[in-house]
């Protein structure tokens, strides 16, 4: 029997996860670690470890996400020369004097977060999954239909001529979730009005492990410190996420490389000296979503299938990973109590613990977006004064830094460091 095993009745149950992205992949690992039978179905080919130049899609991971990966052994499956920790975060208003500089040491931490490629994390999860005997991860399987048998309560999942039966079905299939749609759960998109342009750049000055974000009237621009590979320590590459109105972002994408670089350099006030474009420029429309409910009979939604937020604070993956950890924690508890993996109370607890927190983050992102789009003088004055005040007020600044690091009150056990002093909220 598996060392952390749940009851033998639960061992016979079957969980199907549609979507093996970062959220679905972590959930699968967390559930299979408990000895539960899990099948992951993903339409994409098997994720492979990246080599050479950095991939375009990257994510910032919070401390909570970092511990989730450490505590599941996924961190050990990463190529650490491709993971860049950042120790500081500088946020400023282009249209004024407001600036906040967060430093990890001010809150007793070594790093504020880590930057890594999405494909790299997916590959590490896939590698970890291969070590878990009760986990079957099938790639190239596009799920096209779902049906729940009212008598048995089981879900039937279909892809072409193949079928799977699930006691618990999880939709981790991203923003355009089929599972959400076919379960009749509304998750209507709300156009944020923004598109996001991502690219990789080289900078003349080193980033020194500092993440930078400038808020402009036309939208935010983030410069995220990128690894430069094994043995290289010059720290002169950044990943950028530049959000704004679609016409503006399309114009930035269509500029020639030198003109784009000049505009980027001007936008960040020359913070890192002259810059050079190293990659293509990819543009993503930002459509926010929030599912009206995260659960239904024998079914749960996690990650972007449940919520999509503006990427301006780099929190999307982090929220998804916490969804996965909380759902796995509740399922584990239900299985240990003999109520089975699809116990309605366990699913309800999952929804209660995650939906409010995710909504709060989504609303905060909307608030930031609209605050920095305001041209009215009193609002601009207030926001600059507010930023200067936060920068000088130690406890308030610490509060914001802890939020950005994912240190919320209701963290699942797997998202905490092995020794955690809850009162001091630090380790």
Ligand X SMILES: Cc1cc2nc3c(=O)[nH]c(=O)nc-3n(C[C@H](O)[C@H](O)[C@H](O)COP(=O)(O)OP(=O)(O)OC[C@H]3O[C@@H](n4cnc5c(N)ncnc54)[C@H](O)[C@@H]3O)c2cc1C
14-18 vs 37-42, strand pairing mode: parallel
Helices and strands, number each (H, E), in the chain: 11, 21
CB nearer to ligand X: pick between 10 and 177: 177
> Total binding residues for ligand X by CB under 6 A?
33
Interface with ligand X by CB under 6 A: which range of 91-99, 172-180, 206-214, 330-338?
172-180
Which DSSP string corresponds to 257-285? HHHHHHHHHHHTTTTTSSEEE-S--EEEE
22 is an interface residue for ligand X by CB under 6 A = yes
In 3D, which of 136, 28, 15, 41 has the Cα closest to residue 74? 28
CB nearer to ligand X: pick between 140 and 188: 140
CB nearer to ligand X: pick between 196 and 221: 196
117 is an interface residue for ligand X by CB under 6 A = no
HEC secondary structure over 77-98? HCCHHHCEEECEEEEEECCCCC
250 vs 248: CA distance, rounded Å: 5
Tokens of 360: 């709060």
Q: How far is the CB of 173 from ligand X (least distance, A)?
A: 4
Tokens of 306: 């449940």
Q: Partners of 17 in the beta sheet? A: 40, 170
Positions in 303-332 near ligand X (CB under 6 A): 303-304, 311, 314-318, 320
240 is an interface residue for ligand X by CB under 6 A = no
Helix extents (H) in 232-343 = 246-254, 257-267, 316-336
83 is an interface residue for ligand X by CB under 6 A = no
Residue from 16, 109, 198, 301 in contact with ligand X (CB under 6 A): 198
CB nearer to ligand X: pick between 115 and 390: 115
Q: How far is the CB of 96 from ligand X (least distance, A)?
A: 25
Residue from 28, 38, 143, 146 in contact with ligand X (CB under 6 A): 143
85 is an interface residue for ligand X by CB under 6 A = no
187 is an interface residue for ligand X by CB under 6 A = no
220 is an interface residue for ligand X by CB under 6 A = no
24 is an interface residue for ligand X by CB under 6 A = yes
Tokens of 30: 């967390």
Q: How far is the CB of 272 from ligand X (least distance, A)?
A: 19
42 is an interface residue for ligand X by CB under 6 A = yes
301 vs 355: CA distance, rounded Å: 11
Q: How far from 100 is each of 89, 103, 154, 312, 391, CA to CA, in Å?
A: 8, 10, 52, 16, 5
In 3D, which of 328, 327, 306 has the Cα closest to residue 317? 306
Q: How far is the CB of 115 from ligand X (least distance, A)?
A: 8
Residues that bind ligand X (CB under 6 A): 18-24, 41-44, 59-60, 118, 142-143, 172-174, 178, 196, 198, 241, 284, 303-304, 311, 314-318, 320
């Amino acid at each position: 029997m598996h060392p952390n095993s749940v009851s033998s009745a639960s061992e016979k149950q079957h969980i199907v996860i549609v979507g093996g992205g970062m959220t679905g992949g972590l959930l699968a690992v967390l559930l299979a670690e408990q000895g539960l039978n899990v099948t992951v179905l993903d339409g994409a080919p098997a994720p492979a470890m990246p080599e050479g130049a950095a991939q375009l899609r990257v994510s910032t991971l919070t401390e909570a996400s970092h511990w989730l990966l450490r505590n599941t052994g996924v961190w050990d499956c990463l190529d650490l020369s491709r993971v860049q920790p950042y120790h500081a975060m500088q946020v400023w208003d282009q249209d004024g004097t407001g600036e906040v500089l967060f430093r990890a040491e001010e809150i007793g931490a070594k790093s504020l977060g880590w930057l890594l490629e999405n494909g790299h994390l997916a590959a590490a999860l896939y590698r970890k999954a291969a070590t878990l005997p009760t986990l079957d991860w099938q790639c190239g399987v596009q799920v096209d239909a779902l049906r729940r048998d009212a008598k048995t309560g089981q879900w039937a999942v279909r892809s072409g001529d193949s079928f799977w039966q699930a006691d618990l079905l999880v939709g981790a299939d991203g923003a355009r979730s089929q599972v959400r749609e076919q379960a009749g759960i509304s998750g209507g998109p709300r156009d944020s009005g923004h598109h996001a342009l991502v690219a990789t750049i080289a900078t003349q000055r080193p980033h020194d492990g500092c993440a930078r974000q400038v808020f402009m009237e036309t939208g935010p621009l983030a410069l995220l410190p990128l690894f430069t590979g094994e043995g290289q320590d010059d720290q002169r590459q950044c990943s950028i996420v530049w959000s704004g109105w679609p016409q503006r972002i399309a114009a930035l994408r269509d500029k020639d490389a030198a003109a784009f670089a000049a505009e980027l350099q001007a936008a960040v006030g020359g913070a890192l000296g002259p810059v050079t474009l190293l990659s293509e420029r990819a543009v993503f429309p930002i459509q926010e979503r929030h599912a009206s409910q995260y659960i239904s009979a024998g079914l749960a939604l996690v990650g972007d299938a449940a919520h999509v937020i503006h990427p301006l604070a780099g929190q999307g993956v982090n929220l998804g990973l916490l969804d996965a950890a909380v759902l796995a924690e509740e399922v584990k508890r239900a299985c240990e109590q003999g109520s089975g993996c699809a116990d309605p109370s366990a699913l309800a607890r999952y929804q209660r613990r995650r939906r409010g927190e995710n909504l709060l983050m989504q609303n905060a992102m909307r608030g930031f977006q609209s605050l920095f789009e305001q041209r009215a003088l009193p609002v601009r004055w207030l926001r600059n004064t507010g930023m200067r005040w936060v920068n000088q007020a130690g406890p308030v600044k610490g509060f914001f830094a802890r939020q950005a690091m994912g240190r919320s009150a209701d963290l699942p056990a797997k998202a905490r460091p092995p020794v955690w002093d809850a009162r001091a909220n630090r380790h």
